[in-house]
Amino acid sequence: MSLAAPSRPVVSTSRVNIAIVASLYNETYVQALLDAVRRELEQLVPLAHVMTYRVPGAFEIPVCAEFVLRHNKPDVVIALGVILRGATEHADLVGASVTDALQRMAVTHVVPVVHEVLLLESEEQARERCIGDRMNRGTEAARVAVNMIQLFEKLRVTFPYPQHSD
């Protein structure tokens, strides 16, 4: 298993809008992800307008992301959360529901949605993935977001939307 983060995109001077929807549940870990995302975005897209929306838990991330997609029209949405498995199937159900909802909205809105709502076995795994630099999923999320923004900028030039005449 590779622990390498996605390649670091070239720094962009584009003015882009980035929305981050982050859970308050398991706050220590999610805040560490959020901090890593912000640090990486500041370096990669210093002119970006970044709005952060905090929701109670992972289950609430999709409805907030959908609202943001409909009303704020961001260039990318980054979803951050940490779900720790317990003795019941609740974590798996929430994880599957969130994953499905985020994927549907990305396809429906044709806007990248970076899914970093982590379904983990233990707090040890959460520390490994959220705190520190070794395999920080927040850093990865920021890189994926910027890579997708840059790809979509190229796609819009290559495949411009047809202009409708009324």
Active-site positions? 90
Give phi and psi for 10, each to the nearest 5. -65, 140
Q: Which residues contact 77 (CB under 8 A, 6 or more apart)?
A: 18, 19, 20, 21, 65, 68, 69, 105, 106, 111, 112, 113, 114
DSSP state of 45: -
The answer to whether the beta carbons of residues 51 and 18 sit under 8 Å apart is yes
